[in-house]
């Protein structure tokens, strides 16, 4: 099982196994060492991904959320509206249903099934990018497995983590999953068309998120109706253009 989170995912995806079996070794210390080794290994792959993205001018976004937030619906709407070259890496535990929805938009998609695993890691993403060969320059959307715990710790080499929270979830999610909201650069509050029908305090949710991460940006939208979607498009276009410009200058 995944030594980092206990999710059931084999450690082999990081090509790492602990050999720290010294007699009398403290089990707690050993567990911490394994966690650090796993994250260190992941971060090395993430740096390689990040370097590749910068060299190619590929603006990568890591989309994270709980199950049922409307992440795939938002991604479909985004691709149909964005008018930029795009590709998608689709992370899911078992099925390819979301990837099929994305494929119907006409953009290239690479599926990663994690089995019992609860997150994507940088090594998986690197292999997926090799198979996908996304157009450059362009935007790469990485739709992570639905989970607000482990994806917070695993850098994939992305430019930004974007956390998606729907109004059908609790407004206290930022406090309950503080690591994720601390790691994210943008929080999208989705399904605002349902606000009249649910008990969700938008202002309180934003206050909680900024209590964890004072710099987090916030957008409110409905992926279903399209309300607020243009602000999200502008957020992507502006940052993608700046990313490509910086990459080109660095290549110089």
Report if residue 233 sits inside a domain.
yes
Does 31 score more than 60 pLDDT? no
Residue 110 and residue 128 in contact, taking contact as beta carbons nearer than 8 Å:
yes
- For residue 100, give the CATH number of its domain: 3.40.50.300
Strand partners, 218: 187
What pLDDT shows up at residue 247?
85
Report cis status (omega within 30 of 0) of the bond before 137: yes
Q: Which domain holds residue 208?
A: 20-251
Q: What is the DSSP string of the chain?
A: --TTT-SS--GGGGT-------TT--HHHHHHHHHHHHHHHHHHHHHHHHHHHHHHTEEEEEEEE-TTSSHHHHHHHHHHHH-S-EEEEEEESS--HHHHHHHTTT--EEEEE-TT--S--HHHHHHHHHHH---SSEEEEEE--S-SSGGGT---S-SEEEEEEETTS-TTHHHHTHHHHHH-SEEEEE-GGGGGGS---HHHHHHHHHHH-TT-EEEE--TTT-TTHHHHHHHHHHHHHHHHHHHHHHH-
This prediction's pTM: 0.86
- CA angle, 89 then 92 then 98, to 5°: 70
Report if residue 43 sits inside a domain.
yes
Helix, strand, coil share (%) of the chain residues, nearest 5:
45, 15, 35
Does 99 score more than 90 pLDDT? no
pLDDT digits (tens, 9 = 90+) for 178-189: 999 999 999 999
Total structural domains within the chain = 1
Whole-angstrom distance, CA of residue 205 vs CA of residue 163 = 13
Stretch among 33-42, 223-232, 240-249 having the lowest mean pLDDT: 33-42
Report if residue 5 sits inside a domain.
no
Report if residue 206 sits inside a domain.
yes
Report if residue 28 sits inside a domain.
yes
Whole-angstrom distance, CA of residue 13 vs CA of residue 34 = 14
Stretch among 40-44, 191-195, 230-234 having the lowest mean pLDDT: 40-44
What pLDDT shows up at residue 248?
82
119 confidence band (pLDDT: 50, 70, 90):
confident
Report if residue 7 sits inside a domain.
no
What pLDDT shows up at residue 226?
97
What pLDDT shows up at residue 7?
52
Report if residue 10 sits inside a domain.
no
Mean pLDDT of the chain: 87
Report if residue 2 sits inside a domain.
no
Residue 3 and residue 38 in contact, taking contact as beta carbons nearer than 8 Å:
yes
Whole-angstrom distance, CA of residue 218 vs CA of residue 196 = 20
19 confidence band (pLDDT: 50, 70, 90):
very low
Does 132 score more than 50 pLDDT? yes
What pLDDT shows up at residue 23?
42
């Amino acid at each position: 099982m995944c030594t980092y989170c206990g999710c059931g995912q084999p450690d082999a995806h990081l090509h790492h196994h602990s050999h720290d079996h010294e007699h009398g070794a403290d089990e707690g210390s050993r567990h911490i060492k394994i966690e650090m080794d796993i994250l260190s290994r992941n971060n090395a792959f993430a740096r390689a991904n990040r370097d590749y993205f910068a060299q190619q001018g590929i603006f990568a976004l890591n989309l994270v959320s709980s199950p049922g937030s409307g992440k795939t619906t938002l991604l479909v709407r985004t691709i149909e509206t964005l008018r930029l070259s795009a590709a998608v890496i689709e992370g899911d535990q078992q099925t390819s249903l979301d990837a099929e929805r994305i494929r119907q938009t006409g953009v290239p998609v690479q599926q990663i099934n994690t089995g019992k695993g609860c997150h994507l890691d940088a090594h998986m993403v690197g292999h997926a990018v090799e198979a996908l060969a996304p157009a450059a320059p362009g935007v790469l959307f990485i739709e992570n497995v639905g989970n607000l715990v482990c994806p917070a710790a695993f850098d994939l080499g992305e430019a930004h983590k974007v956390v998606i929270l729907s109004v059908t979830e609790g407004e206290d999610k930022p406090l309950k999953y503080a690591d994720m909201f601390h790691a994210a650069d943008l929080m999208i509050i989705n399904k605002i068309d349902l606000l009249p029908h649910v008990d969700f305090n938008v202002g309180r949710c934003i206050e909680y998120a900024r209590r964890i991460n004072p710099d987090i940006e916030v957008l409110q939208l409905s992926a279903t109706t399209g309300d607020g979607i243009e602000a999200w498009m502008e957020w992507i276009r502006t940052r993608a253009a700046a990313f490509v410009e910086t990459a080109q200058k660095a290549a110089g």
